[in-house]
Homo-oligomer: A and B are copies of this chain.
Amino acid sequence: MKPKKAKEELRVRSIRNGSVIDHIKAGNALNVLKILDITGTTQAIVSVAMNVPSKRQPLGRKDIVKIEDRELIPAEVDKIALIAPLATINIIRDYEVVQKNSVILPRVITNIVRCPNINCISNSSEPVFSKFAVLESHALRCAYCETIIDNDIASCLI
């Protein structure tokens, strides 16, 4: 049914300059914002759609994040890959897509995810950054204690 009486309309228009992160695993947009240090009160000009219909995602839903006047750097893209392995990241300049990338999972990640094993040396007072190997299954294996994280990586983000 077509909405005839819509009184509320919000159109999040194309952005002039910035980054568009599309095909984020449904429900994970807030984790993506967290990775990008957009939390709490923010100055960033951002639009977000969560759990909206998608033809491409396996479950038919996806999230989208648009950030104006910010071009994501490779380290940020790597982190996003961890929780949104199917995401695409478009860099926009003057309304044109100048770069269109799929995310690529890094093989090793350092200081991004906290080891869930409280006895791991990376959780001690030693000056040791957390370090994980990214397995083919997309699970993570701690380089120190070999603990595996195979679901809800988002909740382990530092």
Contacts and interface: CB of A to CB of B under 8 A. Distances in A.
Interface of A: 3-16, 20, 27-28, 30-31, 33, 38-52, 64, 66, 90, 92, 95-97, 152, 154-155
Which of A15, A49, A50, A154 has the largest count of B CB atoms less than 10 A from its CB? A50
Given A3-B14, A20-B8, A40 B46 contact: no
A31 B40 contact: yes
- When all copies of this chain in the complex are counted, the total is 2
A42 B152 CA distance: 12
A31 B20 contact: no
13 contacts: A5-B96, A7-B95, A7-B96, A8-B15, A8-B66, A8-B97, A12-B47, A27-B43, A30-B41, A40-B154, A43-B51, A46-B51, A47-B48
Task: Give me the 6 closest cross-chain CB pairs, A-B, nearest first.
Answer: A6-B14, A48-B48, A3-B95, A45-B51, A46-B50, A27-B41
Contacts of A154: 40-41
